[in-house]
Amino acid sequence: MAKQTTAFSRKHLIGLSDYTRDEILHILETARSFREVLERPIKRVPILTGITVINLFFEASTRTRISFELAQKRLSADTINFTANTSSVKKGETLRDTAQNIEAMKVDMVVVRHSSPGVPLFLSRVLKSNIINAGDGAHEHPTQALLDMYSLLERIPDLKGIRICIVGDIGHSRVALSNIFGLTCLGADVAVCGPPTLIPRHIEQLGIRVFYKLDEALAFADVLNVLRIQLERQGVGLFPSLREYRDQFGITRERLENFPKDWIIMHPGPINRGVEIDSDVADGNFSIILNQVTNGVAVRMAVLYLLSGREREQTQ
Amino acid sequence: MRNGLIWDRGKRKTERADILIKDGIIESIGIFTTLPPTAEIVDITGCTVIPGLLDIHVHLREPGYEDRETIATGCAAAAAGGFTAVCCMPNTNPVADNQEVIQFIKDKAQGNLVTVYPVGAVRKDSKGDELAEIGFMIKAGIVAISDDGMPVKTSGIMRRALEYSRMFNIPVLEHPQDASLTEDGSMNEGLYSTKLGIYGMPSIAEDIIVSRDMQLLEYIGGQLHIQHVSSAHSVELIRQAKDKGLPITAEATPHHFTLTDAVIESFDPNYKMNPPLRSEADREAIIAGLKDGTIDAIATDHSPHTVDDKEGEFDLAKFGVTGLETAVGAYFTELVDKHQFNGIETLVELCVINPRKIMRLDIPEIQPGAPANVCILNEQKQWTVKKDAFFSKAMNSCFIDKTFRGYVIGVIGNKRIWLRDSTLK
């Protein structure tokens, strides 16, 4: 295990907006060690033995939950899953009641996903447990951004000055926002691209560029992070059809070939093949999409480990 | 009341004096060497006496939402805030769109220190296209009409409302919001909504309706009052309308002149209201508007809610904050101490005189023969807003744990006296 110069002192991972460069790099360094564990025949270390983690998912998600669950099991933690199909308010139980029940069960760490922004922050105020945000509405999805940055650092030694463009429904995307916070913190040159209806009017104030035309984004960027486009947005007049979206912003081999570069193509998944990205791009040489998935487990192991406080007790 | 600083409207200043009140009427004002032997003496040394304040925008929640507030608890909160009168909004359940509900409200408020002036709905159930029975409601005692909570939806409806209101000479109180621009929104659309992932409500949603209504006013006539102005552009539009001589008035809330959307980084639902807290530029424009007379009055939009409705998920929480008990403190701490507003004189203008002018009510005087209708306050006293010390049933204030200066010591109205500290007697 790589020993860090200063111990990680955070209790929660709510978002990357207030994490420092050192803290982010610390997590990614730690993830490197856990990534190596995932190559062993026995993919398990006893680091979080005796720690109980609850995956509190108010919003359905198979992939992220499985990734967290794998991370927890590989660290030998005890895992519980709680999935609510509808928000607690619709069911009649308030968020405070759910939280107090969890507190009563004396769980050490809570991984929470909810459709309302700010819920992980609320829980961090009412619970004694460590809180990890697995996605809160359109606010943040910090572990996704961390695994995205980790995956980039497998290819590029330093993210400073790297030109990366996030393409898609920026305004509804917690993946986009966390990436913007994390990447700008590490010095990358970040842009977003999509139709104006999907890009918040004030987003340039976060220190990033905005492109409404894909070709301009392709001319600028070396890395693309392609977001899933949702059909629901069509229904409320944000764009006319998936067909037109693909025509304007779809990442296809033809569009990329106009800008011959050593592209890096990313996607948080799940992919809408033939909409925001074509199969031959998603499965092609430029794509690191599957690496993102593998790295996701390692990064989540690192986050769980560092927040648990066990690093401070650990000696190499 | 002995040794207070009594506000003199003619001289526009306070003078040290005693006031003798008998049977709810002011008997004499002066420096008394002797008093009737049966007189109860209240020592108000260091305190200022002004006419009772009127809050023209309050939600008393009764009938229908008594778990949030009742007429009784709302009036207790009003008194604790220095208000001897309030105008209550019609978005009750049932909506106050007929004579019977208005009468119910008046009956419930009967005998209270605080006078309740009900506001009637513009439309039946505050929905659809039909006007409410405004004439009958006037007979029952409304002072204005409003569909507060929802903007009067189409230009066509607003035209009819202004036209019909002209018959009765009452103001139409408008909550200016283009709902089609604010769907799913919980806060101001700006840098902070972008950073926090909360869908925003742009200020143009307010500006567009203010502009529309002003043009209708110019064409139709009537009296238009813009509620809770929150946008810099709206202030400018109102200023232009007043320059033209249009019969338009406006109000602003203490939370809009004190706070901005930056506070929502805490995701605290006690900062969620409609219209939302906006940018610093908007806040400064509101303050400038209050100073130069563009905005006539301070009104709190007191909106009590239960704890469950104001806790937890920000986007799911209900809109609204209380305000009756903190208005005076916010005025002194923010407007006087930080923006050089003219102390008591401007407080009287913004909270005593102008609100009554808007509602065409008589302005209470402090002089012999007049009914005793006063607010007693200690201008200098510092105090901290405590969640469990409200007289309101509700605790959803955006000023909890904030320290203010300017504390209401008591009020007198309708032959009743309330003192915060009963040992003063």
- Its sign, for the CA torsion B59, B65, B66, B71, is positive
Which residue has better confidence, B257 or A5?
A: B257
Whether residue B58 is predicted with pLDDT greater than 80 in this model: the reply is yes
Whether residue A89 is predicted with pLDDT greater than 60 in this model: the reply is: no
What is the band of A315 on the pLDDT scale with cuts at 50, 70, 90? very low
Number of cross-chain residue pairs from A and B with Cβ atoms under 8 Å apart? 68
Q: What DSSP string runs through B14-75?
A: EEEEEEEEETTEEEEEE--S---TTPPP-B-TT-EEEEPEEEEEE---TTT-TTT--HHHHH
B residues 244-273 near A, CB within 8 Å? Answer: 266-267
**Contact A95/B312, CB-based, under 8 Å?**
yes
pLDDT over 50 (residue A30): yes
Least Cα separation, residue A271 to chain B (angstroms): 23
Least confident of A86-95, A162-171, A175-184: A86-95
Query: B308 and chain A: CB distance < 8 Å anywhere?
Result: yes
Q: Looking at residues A260-278, what average pLDDT do you find?
A: 96
| Catalytic annotation present for B296 | no
DSSP B124-185: GGG-SSPBP-HHHHHHHT--EEE-TTS---SHHHHHHHHHHHHTTT-PEEE----GGG-TT-
Per-residue pLDDT of B282-317, as tens digits, reads 999 999 999 999 999 999 999 999 999 999 999 999
* Candidates 3.30.413.10, 3.20.20.140, 3.20.20.70, 2.40.30.170; CATH matching B53-365: 3.20.20.140
Which comes out higher in pLDDT, residue B423 or B132?
B132
The reply to whether residue A138 touches residue B194, judged by beta carbons under 8 angstroms, is no
Chain B neighbors of A122, CB-CB under 8 A: 267, 312-313
Paired residues of B4 in beta bridges: B17
DSSP string, B393-405: S----TTTT-EEE
Render pLDDT for B391-405 as a digit per residue (tens, 0 to 9): 999 999 999 999 999
Domains of chain A (ranges; CATH) run 21-141+294-313 (3.40.50.1370), 142-292 (3.40.50.1370)
State yes or no: pLDDT of B12 exceeds 90: no
Q: What is the pLDDT of residue A83?
A: 80
Chain B CB contacts of A114 under 8 Å are 313
Where residue B424 falls among pLDDT bands split at 50, 70, 90? low
**What is the per-residue pLDDT for B150?**
75
How far away is chain A from the Cα of B277, in angstroms, using its nearest Cα? Answer: 17
The per-residue pLDDT for range A186-209, each reduced to its tens digit, is: 999 999 999 999 999 999 999 999
Q: Which of A91-105, A274-288, B112-126, B359-373 has the lowest mean pLDDT?
A: A91-105
What is the chain B residue with the closest CA to A139? B197
Please tell me which residue in B301, B315, B337, B388 is annotated as part of the active site: B301
Contact A202 B193 (CB under 8 A): yes
pLDDT for position B24: 95
Q: What average pLDDT does the segment B105-126 reach?
A: 97
- What part of B 130-159 touches A (C-beta under 8 Å)? none
> Which residues touch B183 (CB under 8 Å, ≥6 apart)?
none
pLDDT tens digits, one per residue of A6-21: 678 899 999 999 999 9
Indicate if the alpha-carbon torsion angle B151, B157, B162, B166 is positive or negative.
negative
* B189, B311, B315: residue with CB nearest A96: B311
DSSP, collapsed to helix, strand or coil, labels residue A52 as strand
* Beta partners for residue B87, in sequence order: B117
Interface test with B, best of A116, A123, A127, A232 (most B CBs within 10 A): A116
B196 vs A95, A122, A139: nearest CB: A139
Question: What is the residue-averaged pLDDT of chain A?
Answer: 92
pLDDT at site A314: 62
Domain ranges of chain B: 53-365
What integer is the mean pLDDT of B212-221?
97
Average pLDDT, chain B: 96
Nearest CA in chain A to B200: A200
Global pTM value: 0.94
Report the distance separating Cα B395 and Cα A27, nearest Å.
Answer: 41
